[in-house]
Structure 1
């Protein structure tokens, strides 16, 4: 692990170049440019708020300040988490294949474009979290628990990056993987308490005990942890926090190790 960290530090400049390249190329030729990084999530938020907050009227728990019951804010809290996970995972999968032509011409560690793409995603995430923090300050739903956000974001980064690096290798072997993962992530979105409160599922535990596996979904745990510290203004609990640390560490270690062992071989197939 120490050797891997030294290698990442050694190529930090190259990783930064890939990140800048990703940021510049994402909205190249667009009139609004990077403004789309904010417009897209806001448009999604507006759509889900209309459908699930106004038409279907999913119940909204009362926030930690005892008065806030805004469904759009409750939803946006989870959407920011999901968008970050989804973007890091999918960009990591595509980064290795995208860097194929360069890898055939120039020797550099294959992890550089993958880490660069993940760092690029942080720019959009920073914008979304910044907007979310401003909203919470305006409605005065704020507490010391906000200090736990960087910790949770670090754990989520490790989980998404590890998963993305693992899938990037399989995608280099079989290009169908990218499409399969897109479908599976769409299912995972609705299998996690993003657009609805988790109580809609937990209330069914007595009738359907097998549903308890729902809480072992890492995205469920991450979404609920972020809502704990931002919406409920509560510590997420040592059990949930320990679970997230364990899952993130295992997925990152497995993904990184597998990627390092196989990336050199798949470079010839890109």
Structure 2
């Protein structure tokens, strides 16, 4: 018998044709590669910058100051009874996390086409690494948030009261919800950009519009008022309830609806499944179209 027919191959790469061809076991085996991508992205993002990783704190701080002055001070759209600065910092933190999950994964195929064409690895490792980078940035920003929270709790009573509650225990699940939704939307966009490059330009603008449809720069009670229809319309936005929970848990302002939170979780799950299905279909032929 020919010796070649007795060879045992350790890895077999073959085409896949199913709609949901994602090997989760293989994805877990490449977890070290995900960590490497995270480290590489951090190194390249802040390379040759004067302040380096300090921009992780400077950007949200400047954005919070602008929101506090413009929307809180001039327009008066902040929640009453709590410090406007913390109100906007909390909303901006979770929204920036969601937005960076989308924008970070939106160009996965296009920007890494050269790497994808040279070596094989599970393609989902790239968007997952981008989401993890956003999560690390959020953790660093939350450290800054809690520094300000402690100051307002002990010395800033004149600006309003702040108090945490048991909903803080639900924040890890809420962050997972936001991460899943951001990953789902991001990989849908990244899959479509292989054919329609215009989406890469439109996505940033679309995320900005989505932010203004979410109670990030304004309080739901200030906008909805006594209009139940407007309140329902706002909560149909799947990012509304996570923002509400985030603020309610950390500041004690606003209100939370568990039913609407479950709705957001369902939308996030459906979005992720749809994104993974589309991603698994596009990755088989994207090198021919990129």
TM-score (structure 2 length as normaliser): 0.84
Whole-angstrom distance in 2 between the partners of 1:173 and 1:109:
21
Using the TM superposition, give the Cα deviation of residue 147 of structure 1 relative to its aligned residue in structure 2, in angstroms.
Answer: 1.7
Note the C-alpha offset of 1:104: 1.1
Shift of 1:156: 0.6
The answer on whether the counterparts of 1:156 and 1:222 sit within 8 Å (CA) in structure 2 is yes
Aligned partners of 1:136, 1:245: CA distance in 2, in Å? Answer: 28
Q: 1:17 aligns with which of 36, 53, 64?
A: 36
Residue 194 of structure 2: SS of its match in structure 1? helix
The unaligned stretches of length 5 or more in structure 2 are 1-19, 154-162
State the shift of 1:143 in Å. Answer: 2.9
Give the corresponding residue for 1:166: 188
Q: 1:203 to 1:236 in 2, by over 3 A?
A: closer
The structure where helix makes up a greater share of residues is: 1
> Contact 1:49–1:71 (CA<8 Å) still a contact in 2?
yes
Distance (Å, rounded) in 2 between the aligned partners of 1:40 and 1:148: 27
Structure 2 equivalent of residue 198 of structure 1: 220
* CA-based RMSD: 2.1
The residue aligned with 1:187 is 209
1-structure distance, mates of 2:168, 2:33: 33
1:3 Cα shift?
Answer: 6.2
Instruction: After TM superposition, give the deviation of residue 269 of structure 1 in Å.
Output: 2.7
List, as ranges, runs of 4+ consecutive aligned residues in structure 1 with deviation greater than 4 Å: none
Q: What SS does the corresponding residue of 2:239 show, helix, strand or coil?
A: helix
CA distance in structure 2 between the aligned counterparts of 1:210 and 1:195, rounded to whole angstroms: 17
* Separation of aligned partners in 1, 2:237 and 2:131: 22
Question: 1:104, 1:268 within 8 Å by CA — same for their partners in 2?
Answer: no
Q: Does 1:259 align with 2:272?
A: no
| Residue 57 of structure 1: how far off its partner (Å) | 2.5
Task: Give the Å deviation of 1:96.
Answer: 2.3
- Which of the pair has more CA radius of gyration? 2
CA drift at 1:120? 1.2
Q: Distance in 2 between matches of 1:160 and 1:171?
A: 16
Whether 1:130 and 2:150 are equivalent positions in the alignment is no
Cα gap change, 1:234 to 1:189, in 2 (>3 Å): closer
**Number of residue pairs matched by the alignment:** 262
Q: How does 1:5-154 map to 2 (within 5 A)?
A: 5-62=24-81, 69-140=82-153, 141-154=163-176
Residue equivalent to 1:66: none
Task: Using the TM superposition, give the Cα deviation of residue 116 of structure 1 relative to its aligned residue in structure 2, in angstroms.
Answer: 1.2
**DSSP-derived class of the 1:52 partner:** helix
Specify every segment of 5 or more residues in structure 1 that has no aligned partner in the other structure, as ranges.
63-68
Q: 1:106 to 1:190 in 2, by over 3 A?
A: same
1:243 aligned onto 2:263: yes
Flag the 1:196–1:234 CA change in 2: closer, same or farther, 3 A.
closer
C-alpha contact 1:229 1:235 (8 A) present in aligned 2: no
Report the secondary structure of 1:218's partner residue. coil
TM-score, with normalisation over the residues of structure 1? 0.89
Question: How far, CA to CA, are the matches of 2:268 and 2:182 in structure 1?
Answer: 8
